[in-house]
Amino acid sequence: MQQLKPSLALDMMGGDFGPQSTIPAALAALQEFPHLQLVLCGDQPVLEQALKLAGVVDEPRIRFVHSTEQVLMADKPALALRSKRESAMRHALELVEQEQVHACVSAGNTGALIAIAHYVLKMLNGVERPALISALPSCQGNPVYMLDLGATVNCDADTLFQFAMMGAVMAEQVIGIKAPRVALLNMGEEEIKGSDQIKRASQLLTECNGLNYIGYIEGNDIFSGKADVIVCDGFVGNVALKTCEGVAKLIIKRAQQSIKQRPLAALLSWLFKPVLKSLYQGMNPDHYNGASLIGLRGIVVKSHGNATKDAFLSAIRQAVREVERQVPAKIKDRLEQVLIDKA
């Protein structure tokens, strides 16, 4: 059997730093994955110049797609979809659609990426809406997958059901968890609580064989390790994820104040600074991991807008893993199986 040579299209112009972080990340990825092929989408002279400065000329595993436009972080999604047809983001997604590459990675405007990806790649059969999914830290060893983190604001019961299926496939395929425990995020663990959509989604999931649905989970258990996959609508997921970031900042700030107030602790605070720093970084998962946009007929990984080289590299790694595990095909198979079981 021939080994799969993963190929990725990278939106080199997205994010707060553009080529400054995407170029070193791309070069590190080529080193890490000897069979990786890259298509760099963006302003070709700028990219070639940056590669040259990094000592790279005529690298056979790199090719370029020149883009004359750029989706800005402030662009409205609908406008970016209509008017930025020659942008690196659009080109990268079109390369996936044309099957010239297996996946694309972007650190650009999230709303625009979702809108353009949805339009260019289309949804998988059986999936109505896309979801952003990310692996969060947990008190136990394994990370926990949470979706949707902001792609779909209002979700009906069927959409939440599909998200649960997709999340389970991600946990199985990407982390390798067998029969991942799937939970719905709710405001109480009792069956009587929550909105009508959530109650109906719970019923659909309870009736579904082939999914390890464990019921409702509350916000205080997102990180406890009780569940491997946590499902909610995009509004709630986005607020929860960003609230984590806010809490982490507040805790670090208070820890610093609290240390200052204790003279002996203040004297030895250099000892604990790396502890605080690593905590803060660990609590900002979306800065360090990519979020995958799933439910589409292609693999799209979104790196944080404030992505450093390491963050963008981590998003590339994630894309490679999803290519190797053929995530969209697995999601499609799983949803088709559910439809057959229901019929």
Binding mask 154-193 for a copy of itself (x = CB under 8 A): x------------------------------x-xx-x-xx
Q: Which stretch binds a copy of itself (CB under 8 A): 14-22, 164-172, 175-183, 278-286?
A: 278-286
Q: How far is the CB of 270 from a copy of itself (least distance, A)?
A: 10
- Considering the rule CB under 8 A, would residue 220 count as an interface residue with a copy of itself? yes
Q: Which is nearer to a copy of itself, 298 or 305 (CB)?
A: 305
C-alpha–C-alpha distance, residues 152 and 132, integer Å? 8
Report the run of H or E that residue 183 belongs to, with start and end: strand 181-185
Q: Which is nearer to a copy of itself, 79 or 179 (CB)?
A: 79
Question: Is there a contact between 193 and 217 (Cβ–Cβ < 8 Å)?
Answer: no
- Considering the rule CB under 8 A, would residue 68 count as an interface residue with a copy of itself? no
Give the gyration radius of the chain's Cα atoms.
21
Q: Of the candidates 126, 92, 77, 102, which has an alpha carbon nearest to the alpha carbon of residue 12? A: 92
Phi and psi at 97, nearest 5°, equal: -60, -40
Q: Which stretch binds a copy of itself (CB under 8 A): 9-17, 23-31, 34-42, 237-245?
A: 237-245
Question: Is there a contact between 9 and 90 (Cβ–Cβ < 8 Å)?
Answer: no
Q: How far is the CB of 88 from a copy of itself (least distance, A)?
A: 22
Q: Of the candidates 311, 341, 292, which has an alpha carbon nearest to the alpha carbon of residue 169? A: 292
- Considering the rule CB under 8 A, would residue 282 count as an interface residue with a copy of itself? yes
C-alpha–C-alpha distance, residues 142 and 329, integer Å? 24
Q: Which is nearer to a copy of itself, 32 or 190 (CB)?
A: 190
Intra-chain end-to-end CA distance of the chain, in Å: 36
Question: Is there a contact between 112 and 77 (Cβ–Cβ < 8 Å)?
Answer: yes
For 179, other C-beta atoms within 10 Å of its C-beta total 12
Q: Which of residues 38-67 bind a copy of itself (CB under 8 A)?
A: none
Q: Which is nearer to a copy of itself, 122 or 262 (CB)?
A: 262
Amino acid at 273: K
Q: Which is nearer to a copy of itself, 98 or 281 (CB)?
A: 281
Q: Which stretch binds a copy of itself (CB under 8 A): 64-72, 81-89, 250-258, 305-313?
A: 250-258
Chain residues binding a copy of itself by CB under 8 A are 76-77, 111, 137-139, 150, 153-154, 185, 187-188, 190, 192-195, 218-224, 232, 234-236, 238-251, 253-255, 258-259, 262, 264-265, 268, 271-272, 274-276, 278-279, 282-283
